[in-house]
Structure formats: C-alpha cells, structure tokens
Structure 1
Amino acid sequence: MTAIDTLTAASPPDDAGADTADRYDWQALTAAVDALSMILGAKRAGRSIEDVLVVCEYHEDYVLCDGDSVLLVSVKHRESGAGSWTFAPLFTDGGLAHLFLRWCALSEDSRCRLVTNVGLRNGEPARLSQICERLRTAGPGPRTFEESEMIRSACARILDAIPADKVVPEWAARLPAGGRWSQVFEDAVTRFLGILSFDCDRVSRHHLPAAAAAMYMRPVLQELGIDDSLADAAWETVSGLFRERMRGRTTPAREAMEIRIRSLADLTPEARECHRAEDRAIAGEDILRALAIARDVAILPVPRGRSMAPTRLAIKLVNAGCHDTTVHAAEAAARQWREYELDMNLQPGTAQDLARLKVRTLLAVSDLHERCAEGAEQADYGPVMWRMMRDVVREPRLQDGGGLFVDDELILGLVCDLTSECKVWFSDYFDIDAGRDAFPNRLEGETVTS
C-alpha cells in the first residue's frame, strides 16, 4: 500500500486550512484589483497617481486612500451554494457591525464599503442598499417611514453584533421608554448608512486568479502605454506585493533590517503605530515600479503553482519564450556538463583542451545567435534557437575535443552552463537582477545561482 492509499483510506473531515488560505488570497487579489482601478481612474481623470494608497489589514480588510479621501473596505467571499446575502448575516459575516465600529473610531472621517462576490437578496437586504444610496444623496432632513424602519432595524443588528465592551456609554444613556439605544446611537447609525455602499459583483475566488490579468491588468497597461502582452507577468508582480502587505511584510531583506533598526530605536507608541501602517501600505508609486519591472524586463509569466528556482539559466530561457520542459532539460544538461568538467579538471593536461572547447562552442553559438536574432519576427526567438542548437552541437569541430571525449549532450550542457554564466543568451540582453525580482513563485530569500 502506498502512502497515498493510506491517506485516502478515510476522507478528512474538512479542508478548512486550504479553504481559509484561499479566501485570504482572494482578499489580497481583490485589494490589488481595487488599487489598479484607482490608478486607472486617476490616470483618466488627469490626477496624480502618487495620491493612490492602499493599506492592508489595518482597521479593516484594506483601506483605499485617494489623497485625503479614506474608504474602509470589508471584503467577504460567499460561496455560490450559500445563495445571496440575507439581512442579519450582513452585519456579522458581512462585517457591517465591525465597519461601523472602525468608522466611529476614526471620528466618522471616512467612507465604508462592503465588497463581495454575490448579490443581496430581495427584501430587507436589497432595501438596505437602496436606502443607503438615498441617505447618501439626500443628506440630513426628514426621513420616510421606510427609511426610519430600516435605520431602526440596522441599529438593532449592529447592537446585537458588537461586543458589549465596545458599546459607547452614550449609545445606551438616557434611553427612551422601552428603547434599547439612545438617539445618539440612532443618529450615528443614520450617518453611517449615509456613507455605506455595496459592491456585490466581484469575481469569485475560484475564477479571479485566472481572470485578473485580462480583466484588470490589461486595461491599466494599455492606459499607461505598456505592452499589454505582459499582463500576466505584471499581474503576478503586483499581486505579489499585496500578498506580502496583507501579512504585514515588506521584502525579506528590508524587513529584517527595519525590524532591527526599530528594536534599537526608542520609538514612541505613535511612531511604532506609524511604522506598522507603513509595513502594510502600497502606494501608487510601488505599483508603477512593479509595472516598470515587467515592462523593462519583459519576462514571461511562470504559471502559479510551479516552484522553479529562479536560476539565471531558467530566467533567461523563460524570458526567451521557452517552456518548462526545455528549462528543466537545460538545467539537467548543465549539471551533466559541470560534473564532467569537474572530473576532467582532476586529470592532468586537460585544462587547455577544455579552454579551447569553450572558445569553439562560444564562436559556434554566437554565429547561431546572430542568425536567429537577425531573422526573428518577434522577440521570443528562444525556442527556435534551442531547436537549431541541437544541430550545432553535433558539428564535428565541437566534438573534436583533443584529449576530451565529448558528445552532443555534453556540448549542449556546456552551452547551458555558459548561458548561466551570462556568456550565451537566447534573447536580447535584459537586466538579470530585475528579472529575478519579477520572476513569479520564486523561493523567498533565494538568490540567483548558476
């Protein structure tokens, strides 16, 4: 019996860990979508993108800031099988009660929004959204009977959903006869509903990762004048920022340095809180910088779920348009050559033969590269060059290694090793370090190796 047979002999009672991780990932990707929407809106309106700021997991799931404007966002995924939102869960599972508390804590100086992937059920939930919109546009003044009833229903739901220790004394002071809350509380809830909005048409967690590049990144790249064929790579780079910030992380090296500096500094509580918010913030400039990396490096995306190490050889072949199989074959061939070269270096009198073979191989490959680059109709001529390379390495002038015994597989391994040393290219030159930073799914903290 295999290990898999043992594990599958009984079904696990739940899949909560993977499900929870996927929901948090959807939250991060949804924040990235909203940030791109803000950048697109600012660009089209002629406003500065520098005013765009997203703060993750701070007060709320994320906060959208545009200049002095602050929007608290509660983002909640709901499975399609659960149906549309009913009234009571909006204030608990939907986070409206928590939004109300955070809005009060910020001195009512913000707007609030519930972002979700399913709609509001007809009846009370749909009327709540409609009345919020009416309150938002009508402002203070006499309320209709329907509005007053909805405000009282919201008061009851919020009061039931928030912890007792979070109830402000003024909300329960001087209660009217038979009442559960004061006029102060009802007035606050009325103002809250007047700044609350609902966004219920988001792509679900099952489809967003596959759809995001085309739906959200491509329009931004087109507006910024960046080649939209890079949408997948740009989306991977930008969404990676939000995945980090949702965990309160910057880049590993910078984070370690800043933690050490802060531990040595005698910071006030206010300064520490400011640093905490900064660790979770992504500015419009950060996103533009990530897009610039995708544009300048023009590296092709690596499908999510593949954990290929970002070696120089892998980065250069992926950037040139080669597929996974070619990259893995090239890595294997390079390892085979290195092992052979190590053995030969231990033999007396082989150093000059190895040096001559490398020079002859470089000359042959340089001729091939010139032909491929000159006749290429597109930038990604790597696959064509790879196929033609298989004929070049069979040439007798390369396999005549003097005192060496080499075949076409070893010569191909030599070419791959020279590629990892940046002496051979399968594409036009690009910045390898920037390519490493843009390479999706790289192992955290891993350096580029040969």
Structure 2
Amino acid sequence: MSEQPELTAAEVVVTEPQPDDAGANTLDRYDWQASMAAADGLQMYLDALGPEKRLQSDEDRRVLCEYHEDWVALDGDKAEIVSAKHRDPSVDAYRTVNQLADDGGLAHLFLRWRALKEKPTCRLTTTGGLLSGDPQDLEAATKALRAARLAGRLVTLEDDWLPSVVRLHSAIRTHSGKHLPDDWVKGGEVEIPEEEQHHQVARFLSILNIQHSLTRRSDIGFAAPAKFVKPVVDHLGYDVPCEAVWNAVYGLFYTRMRAAGPRKEATISPVLAYSNGSEPPTSADKERELAGRIVTMHDIDVAIIMAVGNPGAYQTLDSPMRLSRAAVKMRKGYCSDNSIERGEQLRKDYHRYWRDRLTGDPTAMAERDKLRRLLLRVSDRADTPHMRSNGKWGPTFWNSIQDALDGIPLEQVPAGMDADLLLGGISDLANACQIWFSDRFNVEDEIRRLRDENSGSAA
C-alpha cells in the first residue's frame, strides 16, 4: 500500500473534526468576535490586492468562522487558528499565566493545536492587557521562541524561557481536566516524560502570537471604520464613507459566524455515506461542506463593491445629537461624530469602573484623585500653542491625548484600567469643564441653542 501524503495545515484544519462546537454565544460576543474577524479579513484582503489593486482569479485566502476556535485564517496550505477573548473594563488585565490559560483560553488553544497535529499557527486576540511579571514574561518567551523557529533553529528549553514554559505546562494540566492529551495522562499507556511535554509547550509558544489590549466591544463600532476600512479605501482610491464599507463587510462576517451549527449533512451516517464504493471525502470536499462558515476574499470584494455602488444602503441611521457638556465641547472643537460617540461610551465605562471600585474599597477615592491629577497633566502637555495655531485643533488634541495615554504603563494606573478607560476619564473631565477642545465658550447656552435647533427640526 502506498504511503499517504502528509496533510498541510489547511487540510488538517478542515478534515479534522472538532471535538465540540462553539455552543451558545451571546449576541454581544458574536458582535465583537465578528468585528475582529472582519478586521482580519480586511487585512488579508488588502494584502491580496497587492500593487495591482485587484484580486487574482486564483486568490485562495479565506476565513473559516467558528470551527476549532473562533475563526481560522487560511492562506493556501497555511492556517492560523484564532481564539478571541473579550474582557470587560471591570475585569482586571491578565495577572497570571493561569488566567491566560483559563480565562484567556490558551489551554484550550493548546489542545486544539495538538489535536490538529501541531500543524497550524495560533493566535490569542483579547481586549485584556498583560501585567508585568509572569504574563509579560510569557509574551517575551513567545517572541524569542518564534524568532528561533523562523531562523530555522531547533526550539529548545533554554534558561531564559524555561520558567514560562513550566508555568504554562502546569496551567494547561490544571485547566484541561479530562481533555488532556493521551500522552500527558499519568499512568496511561502512551505517557511521555515531563521534559517532552515541556518541549511540546515550547513548540506551541514558538507558533503563538498574543494580541492584547485590543479595542473593546463598546468602542469597536466607532473605531472600526477608520482603523480597519480606511487603509483599504485609500489603497483602492474610492470616495465612499468608510462606515458604509465596514457595515457591509462586518455583516458578511456576522452572518457566516452565525452559520456555525448543525448541518443537514450531519444527520447522514458516515458509514452509509461511503457504502456505495465512493472514496472518503478529500480536504476539498470537507471544505465545501463548511462553505456556510467561510468568507473568501472574493466575498469581501463583492461586499465592498456593493457598498461603493450604494453607500446609503449601508450607512448607520443617524442617532440623536449628543447634548452632554463633553459632547457639545468636542463638537465645538470640530471632533468627528465617531470620536464624540466613542468619548460618550468610554465615559460611561469609566463611571461604571469607579462605581464598582468605590463600593467597599477604602483606597478607591485616593486612587481616583491621583488618576485625575495624572489625566490633567497629560491634557496640559498635549495642549500646545503650535497645536492651537490651527483654528480647528480639537481632533488633533483628541488624538494627541490618546497617543499619550497609550504610552502610560499599566503599573502606573489603577488595577483594571487601560488606555480606553483612561480616555473615558478625559471625557469625564471634559464633561466637568476641566478640559476643552476649543477656546472657552458658554456651554449651557450652546446646549440650549442646540436643543432649540433640534426641536425646530423635529417640528
């Protein structure tokens, strides 16, 4: 009998059955995961366009949704399985490797990687940050081991990253329960030495990419058009609202992610399916079965063309004008509607954070006052005469503050805070008239004027 050819990573992903389906997901979880999968798809689409600004007929990049993990990025024979974990502002950043293995899903991701014969690369995509210490040491180990693998060197257990390997190995054993690989089961027929288990973990870290501190659910709808769509629209030279293109592409991914679940073919016994002399299904056959979960680059291309041809059909309906003091001041400073909406949402998250902290935490009040002083210092440094020389300096000021907040180490801010929540604090200070986006004006008079204007429009 001739030896069967070794399967590629992409073939393994589509032919190896997943031990469990994604199960029930909340609407919010789908919304954020579909947004992040769409961001991946848009980047893959931009890469596929190349300098010619068009897809080739044989372009085969595609995204497989809700299979094995939250999605799989496929490119020819290559595959990357992605686990997407959203953490709310009230939840702290990852403090330990155990949290990354359990809440961050690294244990589950490792098990899937092993089940897929160690073929695909892996990625954890999460809104949570990594605190200094063990979590950041683990991230450093992934980068060092990846560099060794890409340079063609053997992945070894060197002293620099051995502690991280040992910690993750222990965490995987703790959080995998009965799903441990057969060769990890103590006393089993095929148990391998602990050192070889460490080597497996090291190989896993060499193909792992941890993307952390990403845009949260409350913010993604406002940030996505500029962040993910604008590079594509600019590259293609289209004069179309980015929001329309985003809504079209996001809707495509949302639909395909919801397509995960029982299929009618699943009711047919595989024994009966092959009893008439037909060959077992190939990887191409299995991928066709999964077509309802797959987004191709040509699918994205059609969605973009539809949005360009009829942008009004994909525009979000206008929401009522924000009339908070912060929103009115940002509008007076020529900030965009997206920035205003983002500031309003983050201010709510910021209030929710302190409401939770101030309940039963005697240190919270002092921490809040210390943070207020830090945020005022950041805004003061961002407010320069050169910036104000432009009459419409509000957007520049808003972006400068964000850049400054992104550079503040997590250790210098209250536990569970990130750059988004800090920006919510800036919005809160603006609402208290301690930060401005334009020259001073009578805010209450402006609110009354806008309210009267809205009433007149409604009449």
Provide TM-score, normalisation by structure 2: 0.54
Distance 1:143 1:45, change over 3 A: farther
- Within 1, Cα distance between the matches of 2:138 and 2:131? 10
- Within 1, Cα distance between the matches of 2:86 and 2:317? 21
- Within 1, Cα distance between the matches of 2:238 and 2:269? 43
Distance 1:303 1:184, change over 3 A: same
Q: Does the aligned pair in 2 maintain the 1:32–1:238 contact within 8 Å?
A: yes
Q: CA deviation at 1:198?
A: 0.8
> Given the alignment, which residue of 53, 60, 76 partners 1:51?
60
Q: CA deviation at 1:292?
A: 1.1
- Within 1, Cα distance between the matches of 2:173 and 2:66? 24
2:165 maps to which residue? 151
Q: Does the aligned pair in 1 maintain the 2:253–2:295 contact within 8 Å?
A: yes
> Given the alignment, which residue of 284, 297, 301 partners 2:310?
297
1:29 maps to which residue? 35
**Residue 80 of structure 1 pairs with residue 89 of structure 2:** yes
Which structure has the bigger radius of gyration?
1
Q: Secondary structure of the equivalent of 1:51?
A: coil
Letter in 2 for 1:28: A
Q: Secondary structure of the equivalent of 1:119?
A: coil
Q: CA deviation at 1:302?
A: 3.9
**Residue 71 of structure 1 pairs with residue 68 of structure 2:** no
Q: CA deviation at 1:117?
A: 1.5
Q: Does the aligned pair in 1 maintain the 2:82–2:124 contact within 8 Å?
A: yes
Letter in 1 for 2:116: L
Matches within 5 A, 1:34-433: 34-44=40-50, 50-87=59-96, 88-139=98-149, 140=154, 142-169=156-183, 172=186, 182-227=194-239, 229-248=240-259, 267=273, 270=281, 273-303=286-316
Q: CA deviation at 1:118?
A: 2.7
Q: Does the aligned pair in 2 maintain the 1:103–1:109 contact within 8 Å?
A: yes
Deviates more, 1:283-292 or 1:271-280: 271-280
Q: Does the aligned pair in 1 maintain the 2:138–2:164 contact within 8 Å?
A: yes
Q: CA deviation at 1:54?
A: 0.5
Deviates more, 1:297-306 or 1:261-270: 261-270
Distance 1:96 1:20, change over 3 A: same
Structure 1 gap segments, 5+ residues each: 1-18, 307-450
What does the per-residue CA deviation read over 1:319-373, in whole Å, with 9 as the maximum and x for residues that have no partner? xxxxxxxxxxxxxxxxxxxxxxxxxxxxxxxxxxxxxxxxxxxxxxxxxxxxxxx
Distance 1:24 1:137, change over 3 A: same
- Within 1, Cα distance between the matches of 2:188 and 2:148? 29
Q: Secondary structure of the equivalent of 1:107?
A: coil
Distance 1:249 1:134, change over 3 A: closer
Q: CA deviation at 1:201?
A: 3.5
Q: Does the aligned pair in 2 maintain the 1:136–1:195 contact within 8 Å?
A: yes
Q: Does the aligned pair in 1 maintain the 2:65–2:260 contact within 8 Å?
A: no
Structure 2 gap segments, 5+ residues each: 1-24, 275-279, 320-459
What does the per-residue CA deviation read over 1:238-260, in whole Å, with 9 as the maximum and x for residues that have no partner? 1111111111269xxxx9xx959
Distance 1:183 1:80, change over 3 A: same
Query: How many pairs were matched up?
Result: 279
Q: Which has the higher contact order (CA 8 A, sep 6+)?
A: 2
Question: Over aligned residues, Cα RMSD in angstroms?
Answer: 3.5
Letter in 1 for 2:231: P
Letter in 2 for 1:119: G
What does the per-residue CA deviation read over 1:268-302, in whole Å, with 9 as the maximum and x for residues that have no partner? 58478544422110000000011111122343534
Distance 1:180 1:164, change over 3 A: farther
- Within 2, Cα distance between the matches of 1:259 and 1:305? 40
What does the per-residue CA deviation read over 1:381-402, in whole Å, with 9 as the maximum and x for residues that have no partner? xxxxxxxxxxxxxxxxxxxxxx
- Within 2, Cα distance between the matches of 1:259 and 1:198? 36
- Within 2, Cα distance between the matches of 1:261 and 1:126? 43
Q: Does the aligned pair in 2 maintain the 1:171–1:185 contact within 8 Å?
A: no
- Within 1, Cα distance between the matches of 2:181 and 2:62? 31
Percent of counterpart pairs with the same letter?
A: 33
Q: Does the aligned pair in 2 maintain the 1:173–1:181 contact within 8 Å?
A: no
Q: CA deviation at 1:151?
A: 0.9
Q: Secondary structure of the equivalent of 1:82?
A: coil
1:416 maps to which residue? none
Q: Secondary structure of the equivalent of 1:285?
A: helix
- Within 1, Cα distance between the matches of 2:112 and 2:266? 31
Distance 1:51 1:45, change over 3 A: farther
Q: Does the aligned pair in 1 maintain the 2:107–2:172 contact within 8 Å?
A: yes
Distance 1:291 1:135, change over 3 A: same
Letter in 2 for 1:97: A
Deviates more, 1:28-37 or 1:43-52: 43-52
What does the per-residue CA deviation read over 1:32-54, in whole Å, with 9 as the maximum and x for residues that have no partner? 01111112233347795623210
Q: Does the aligned pair in 2 maintain the 1:213–1:232 contact within 8 Å?
A: yes
- Within 1, Cα distance between the matches of 2:266 and 2:164? 51
Letter in 1 for 2:87: R
Q: CA deviation at 1:172?
A: 3.8
Q: Secondary structure of the equivalent of 1:293?
A: helix
What does the per-residue CA deviation read over 1:49-79, in whole Å, with 9 as the maximum and x for residues that have no partner? 6232101100101111122221111110111
Letter in 2 for 1:99: L
Q: Secondary structure of the equivalent of 1:57?
A: strand
Q: CA deviation at 1:144?
A: 3.1
Letter in 2 for 1:108: E
